[in-house]
Each structure stands twice: as structure tokens, then as C-alpha cells.
Amino acid sequence: MKSLKELEEIKQRTLDSVNLRKERTGGTRVVVGMATCGIAAGARPVLLAFLEEVKKRNLGDVTVSQTGCIGVCRLEPMVEVTRPGEEKVTYVKMTADKVKRVVAEHIVNGHVVTEYTIGAAE
Amino acid sequence: MEFFRSHVLICGGTGCHSSGSADVMETFKAELAKNNLENEVKLVQTGCFGLCAVGPVVIVYPEGAFYSRVSVEDVSRIVSEHLLKGRIVTDLLYHDSIHEDEAIKSLNEVDFYKKQKRLALRNCGVIDPENIDEYIAFDGYKALGKVLLEMTPEETIDIIKASGLRGRGGAGFPTGVKWEFTAKAEGDKKYVCCNADEGDPGAFMDRSVLEGDPHSVLEAMAIAGYAIGADQGYIYVRAEYPIAVKRLTIAIGQAREAGLLGKNIFGTDFSFDLELRLGAGAFVCGEETALMASIEGRRGEPRPRPPFPAVKGLFGKPTLLNNVETYANIPQIILNGPEWFQTIGTEKSKGTKVFALGGKINNTGLVEVPMGTTLREIIYEIGGGIPNGKEFKAAQTGGPSGGCIPARHLDTPIDYDSLTKIGSMMGSGGLIVMDEDNCMVDIARFFLDFTVDESCGKCPPCRIGTKRMLEILDRITKGQGKEGDIEKLEELGKNIKASALCGLGQTAPNPVLSTIQYFRDEYEAHIRDKKCPAGICQALLQITIQAELCRGCGLCVKACPVDAISGERKSAHTIDQSKCIKCGACMEKCPFKAIVKG
Ligand SMILES: Cc1cc2nc3c(=O)[nH]c(=O)nc-3n(C[C@H](O)[C@H](O)[C@H](O)COP(=O)(O)O)c2cc1C
């Protein structure tokens, strides 16, 4: 160890991987419906795609978790995205490709991908 | 970047380890692999969460779900329900960790944690103690960097002095003053030592720090080395702590590799290295001069002080010795400043204290509270009270060197001085709770039996005096006590305290003296009435059948292993006291509760 800067680098590099264990305050939450209906409709690849994108883009303050049935089984896989201080947005009939757009446009840049939302589908 | 959507923290402290956490960890590994979740879910083995009573404990983030008493059989449900499908397995959660609507409480809403303040234990149960990067992520080694790059040794000592930190090993000596003495002592070579001997029966605070956050101790020792001018340190840890020894060994290796121990740390000309020395588990080796003799490879016996170790310690050189928990506080004091530390605690006892809660208490485990918290808060709010609705009788603090505290002092704010005032002491932090079923004479005998066993034999007051006291206590508990025994115990106790060579003998009479002070009537009942009010001292008990309740069913006759019970069917039975071995088997069998002990 030669300097505080070097120590800080280790800290920053590791922080993202331990942040999850702190009390959550800010940060975007992604919740994937993973009940039997969701899994049958392909929720696992959707979940994995979120993880992949978050990892690729170094989005340390995003939590990706799952929940049970969100309620509209015919529209599964469903995903809820909540940015801090904003309304929850529900996306339906998600696929791995759609995930890429949601991450890039909504999570990173704050623009909801309206055409994938439950409002557009109904 | 590494990204896992979920972290599963499994307690790997000794408590949870012995209730099976290693198997739980292995099973998680296998189940995650089976469900292809290894790249999404991270498994972390941590140190102690504190709630040892309900171990093995597993916490799943980001939800913060607190699973307790997790068995190998439960793991597949947690993996397939919670980790795969996101459905928390509510029936496996710790009962107090969810709200009535089943929403998860954050940890500081849980009764056990609400009143706690974790400074020394801040990283325990949060980080992987075998991964130095995680320690660094929580500001580890930053205090060392700050001290080496921005402060002089004198400034460092001033901060510790100003914080008001006092030694957590028992005596409560001001830490900064000790550092200053050692810094000012003349010597071509100096040493920094850590006392991790933890010999009090029932104490496991230091073990938990070493198991859960070993780097905090290493960092603090390096800071101390810089402050006093030492380049070498020793950690004296008991060999009965295999997990702590393993994690310390790993931590020292990682710190050396990262250049946080060794030569020219942070590019300065300060060099410091550490070695472990394993103790063989003698209580007296926790005493500072005996500890140093033992490190040197000599017999672990104390010697008279002065000279104090600060002047003439290890290998005859000025040596700084502090306790594990004392060290664990240092990095934070450096980072947050002495004023911050001053705001926690009471006027003369700053900061927090870790207690190992044991005995008759619901939440057996490890707690850390601000100094000045009352015993009542610790026992009833954090500790969850006494099992089976029993009545609190006393709490023993300070182990074999301390004393008992009766119910009337439950509201005493706990700090060094208030405990001494009521005849006990802070000690290192063992806290054993006793209820109405504990016999105070028997407790005193238990602790004295321990000190007699552990006396090194060097000085007669301790070697012979404590033995004589134990003989008297033995007699009393066997119903052979005589008038004058209590006074003789008091006189012996006073003299031993005044004349023994080291702290072991000087404090050994405390459990006896304090139980006499608060529970003299129990001693008198044993001596005069030949009765043990709590029903513990076997020789003083009689098991009898209450004729008016006995229906003569004969179940007790069959249960008695020594054929001591006789009687006609359907009429009251009797016990032949000359044959009775007081095993109590008949009491358990009697359907009418007609058999009593007393
Ligand atoms: C018989 C005896 C046993 C002791 N055992 C311990 C022990 O296990 N751990 C400890 O830290 N201090 C123990 N001490 C106290 C040490 O002698 C010493 O005061 C302490 O380690 C100093 O560190 P501190 O100032 O940080 O408390 C013991 C003292 C005596 C007399």
C-alpha cells in the first residue's frame, strides 16, 4: 500500500459489491415477477438480462429482486421499475431484448419506454 | 464490476458454527448450483450477528430477511422460494423480524437490536472477515493511512486521550494515557501486544470481534505501533479459539500482501509486523505480566509491578498491551474524531461496551450498548427477559473477578464506576443472568472453584487463601456450615484482596463477598436451617411426598431407581430418606404433583 488513493480505489471497487447489505435509501429498484406463471412465461431470462446489463454498465445503486405473481398472468413476464422519487412503472411481456432498452432509456436516462408498459398493452 | 442481485450472509461465528452453520453454508452452495443461481446470488460467511440463541442465523439481502435456526433441510426452500421466486419463507424468519402485516423490519426495529450501538462490532455480521477488500470498503485501514500520512505520533496519542477511551479488558485504565507512558519510555525496541486470552467463563466478546472483524484489530495495533514507536506486535490468543486463529492468520497474510503490514506502509518509513502466539488456556495468562512471560516462552506466572509493562514489558522492553475490544474502537475514533466518541456513554465511561449475555436469559448472545445503559434494559429489552416467566435474582458481571448485582440495582446505569460502587465490576464483559432457581452460595462456590483451579500458585494468599475459602463454601453447601463461617469468609476475602500478587487473587474473593453482601440470608439459611432456599444444593434437599395429595398410584415406586419409596396401593406413600439419592425421577412421574423438593 503506497497511498490513500490506492486504498480508495480498492474501496470503490468493492463498495458496489457490498452496498446491497446496507439499509437501502436511494437507488432504482427493479422487481421481476417470478411466480410460476412468470417463470413459465420466461421471467428467468429477463431477470438474467437485467443482471447482465446492470453489471455491464456498473450501476451500483440498482437492486434487482423478484417477487411473486404481480397479478396479470397473461401479460407475464412482468417487471416493475421504480426510480427514486418517481412513480412505479410496470412493464409487461418482457424479453431479454426489451430489457436492454429499459435499462438504457429508463433506468439510466429516466425516459420511460412507454410502448412496453402495461398502459400500452391494455 | 461484480454484481449479484442478492447476498446471503451466513453467520460463521463459533456460536452458529456449533449449531451447524458450516453444513448450512455447504448446502446453500449445492442448492444454488442446482438452481443455476451461483452467478446471481453471493454467499458470504460472516462473523457474529449476536443472536446466538437462535442460530444458525442467515440474512438475505436486499430484502434484509432474517432467517433463524436454519437447518440443512430448510435451505432448499429458501433457495427455491425466496432466491428463485422472490417469495420470502415467512415461517422461517426470526419471530421478531417482521411486522404484523408480515413486512420485514429493518434490523434496528428489532427489539434485540433497537437499543444496541455497534461500534466494536460494526462490521461483525456485515463483512466477510476473510476478505480484506470488504473491510477496506467499509473504510478499513483509512485510519492507519490518515495517522501515517497526516499526523505525528503525539497527535495520535492526543486523539486517543481526548476520546476518553478506557481499557475494555477489565481494569478500565485510560487507553491514551497508557499509550503516552509507553511512548515516553526509553528503549531501543518497543512492542505492541494484544490480549485475546479471554479467560472469563461465559465471555466471548473478543472472540466475536476476532472472528467477525480481525482487520480492525490489526489496523489498530499498527496505529498503536506508530504512536509508541514499535515495529513489532504480538497477538496472544487462546488456542481454544480455532476459528479466530484461522481468520487472524488469513487477515495477517492479506494485510502483508496488501502492504498494510510490513515495510514502509503507505510509502512512509514506518514498518510494522505482527505475529500470533497461542495460549494454552490458563486464566492467569490473561494477566499482563504472565501473558508476556508466556509469549517469551516462559511459564505463565505474574510478577510484581512496578515496573509496569510500559517501562519493562516483553523481553524487558517497553510494551503496550491492550484488549481486543479496546483496539476495535481505535480506527473509528481516529476517523470520526474524539468529540464524536465523547458523545457516547457517560461522563467517565465513554463509548460502548460489548457484553456476552448468558445464563437464564431468552436472547443468549452478544450485545453492544452505550455505556450508561441500565441492566434492566439489557436484560428485559435486548435480552428478551428470563425464560419460563421466572423471577430475576441477580446478574454476575466481571466473571470470577466480579460480583453479583441484585434486583434492586437493576436500574443502575452500567459503567466502570457505578459497577465498582455496587460491589461488582465491569470486567471484560461477561454477563450471566440468574433467576430464582439459582443458589447464590452455589454460584460463589462455582466461581471460587474456578479461581482455585486457575491460581498459578506463586503467591500464598491466592494459592492457600482461596483454597481455604473454597473449603468453607463446600462445607456450607453440604449442610456442614458453622456459626462464624460467614465472618471467616469475609475476613479471608479481605486479606486475600489486600495481599495477593496479581489481579487474579486480588479479585478472586469478589463473588463470595458480593453474594454475602446481597444474599446473606441465603448463607444463613444454609448454615442455620440447613436449607437451600433455591433448591440447588443437593445435600440440603429432601424429597418428600405430601400425604394429602398422594393417591397411592405407585408410579413413583416404579420410577425410583433405588427402591426408596414404599406404601400400600391407594394410600399415601413415603420416601426413605436414607436411601433417597435426590434424583427427582419420582417428581417427574407423579401425576398429582404430590412430590416436592425442598
Ligand atoms: C487473572 C487476570 C486475567 C485477565 N484476563 C484478561 C483477558 O482475558 N483479556 C484481557 O484483555 N485482559 C485480561 N486481564 C487484564 C489485563 O491484565 C490487562 O489489564 C488488559 O489486557 C489491558 O488492556 P486494556 O487496557 O485494553 O483493558 C486479566 C487480568 C487478570 C488479573
Q: What mean pLDDT comes out for the span B71-96?
A: 93
Q: How confident is the model at residue B108 (pLDDT cuts 50, 70, 90)?
A: confident
Which of these three, B341, B367, B393, is where a domain ends? B341
CB B273, CB B232: distance < 8 Å: yes
User: All 3 cell numbers of residue B12?
Assistant: 460463521
Nearest to B196 by CA among B240, B252, B232, B231: B240
Q: Which among B322, B341, B360 is the end of a domain?
A: B341
HEC secondary structure over B456-487:
CCCCHHHHHHHHHHHHHHHHHHCCCCCCCHHH
Give pTM, 2 decimals: 0.91
The parent domain of residue B549 ranges over 542-597
Cα separations in angstroms, B555 against B567, B575, B590: 11, 13, 7
SS3 state of residue B28: helix
pLDDT band for position B112 (50/70/90)?
very high
B40 in contact with A at a CB cutoff of 8 Å?
yes
Whether residue B374 is contained in a domain is answered as yes
Chain B hits for A63, CB-CB cut-off 8 Å, are 5, 62
Calculate the alpha carbon distances from B6 to A18, A90, B11, B43, B95 in Å.
10, 22, 16, 9, 22
Answer whether residue B121 is part of any domain: no
Provide, rounded to the nearest whole percent, the portion of chain B with pLDDT above 70. Answer: 100
| Nearest CB to A10; choose among B127, B136, B267 | B136
- Whether B214 and B153 share a structural domain: yes
Verify that B449 and B424 share a domain, yes or no.
no
**Side-chain half-sphere CA neighbours of A13 within 13 A:** 9
Please indicate, yes or no, whether residues B336 and B356 belong to a single structural domain of this protein. Answer: no
**Inter-chain CB proximity B84 and A16 less than 8 Å:** no
The last residue of one of the domains, among B317, B341, B365, is: B341
CATH number at residue B460: 1.20.1440.230
Q: Cα(B538)–Cα(B511) distance, rounded to whole angstroms?
A: 21
Are residues B243 and B199 part of one domain? Answer: yes
Residue B558 has pLDDT above 90, yes or no: yes
Q: How many CB pairs under 8 A join A and B?
A: 101
* CB atoms B1 and A55 under 8 Å: yes
pLDDT in tens, B481-512: 999 999 999 999 999 999 999 999 999 999 99
Q: Which residue has the higher pLDDT, B215 or B425?
A: B215
Residue B207 contacts A where some CB pair is shorter than 8 Å? no
CATH of the domain at B575: 3.30.70.20
> Contact at 8 Å (CB) between B128 and B250?
no
State how far Cα A42 lies from the chain centre: 16
Q: Do A4 and B106 touch (CB under 8 A)?
A: no
Is there a contact between B260 and A1 if contact means CB atoms under 8 Å apart?
yes
Residue B596 burial class via C-beta count within 10 angstroms: exposed 0-12, middle 13-18, buried 19 and up: middle
Q: How far apart are CA B225 and CA B269, in angstroms?
A: 13
Instruction: Tell me the C-alpha distance between B420 and B561, whole Å.
Output: 48
B43 near B54, Cβ under 8 Å?
no
Cα(B430)–Cα(B204) distance, integer angstroms: 8
ipTM, interface predicted TM-score of the complex? 0.83
Q: Which protein residue's CA is at the shortest distance from atom 28 of ligand 1?
A: B287
Domain for residue B115, yes or no? no
B351 vs B98, residue with greater confidence: B351
C-alpha cell at A80: 416493475
Domains in chain A and their CATH numbers? 4-121 (3.40.30.10)
3-state secondary structure A33-98: ECCHHHHHCCHHHHHHHHHHHHHHCCCCCCEEEEECCCCCHHHCCCEEEECCCCCCEEECCCCHHH
Is residue B1 over pLDDT 80?
no
| Residue B118 covered by a domain | no
Same domain membership, residue B327 and residue B364: no
Residue of chain A with shortest Cα separation from B5: A64
Domain count, chain B: 5
- Which pLDDT score, from 0 to 100, does residue B582 have? 86
| pLDDT at res. A40 | 85
pLDDT digits over B10-30, tens only? 999 999 999 999 999 999 999
Cell of B42: 453471493
Are B424 and B333 found together in one domain?
no
Q: Per the domain annotation, does B360 fall within a domain?
A: yes
Residue at B1 is within a domain: no
Which residues on neighbouring strands pair with residue B437, listed in sequence order?
none
| B140 & B218 share domain | yes
Pocket of ligand 1 (CB under 6 A): B 167-171, 173, 195, 197-199, 283-284, 286-288, 321-323, 326, 428, 502-504
Pocket residue to mutate for ligand 1, from B182, B208, B221, B288, most atoms within 8 A of Cβ: B288
Q: Specify whether B547 is located in the same domain as B499.
A: no
Please name the residues in contact with B106: beta carbons below 8 A apart, sequence gap of 6 or more: A23, B64
Q: How many CB atoms lie within 10 A of CB B146?
A: 17
Grid cell in block for residue B215: 482487520
Q: Are residues B171 and B307 in the same domain?
A: yes
Q: Are residues B95 and B170 in the same domain?
A: no
Are residue B203 and residue B98 in the same domain, yes or no? no
Residues B333 and B185 in one domain: yes
Which domain CATH number covers B206? 3.40.50.11540
Per the domain annotation, does B120 fall within a domain?
no
Structural domain contains residue B176: yes
- Protein residue with least CA distance to atom 6, ligand 1: B286
Interchain proximity A16–B61, CB inside 8 Å: no
> Angle B440-454/B510-528 helices, nearest 10 degrees?
130
The set of cell numbers assigned to B378 is 439489557
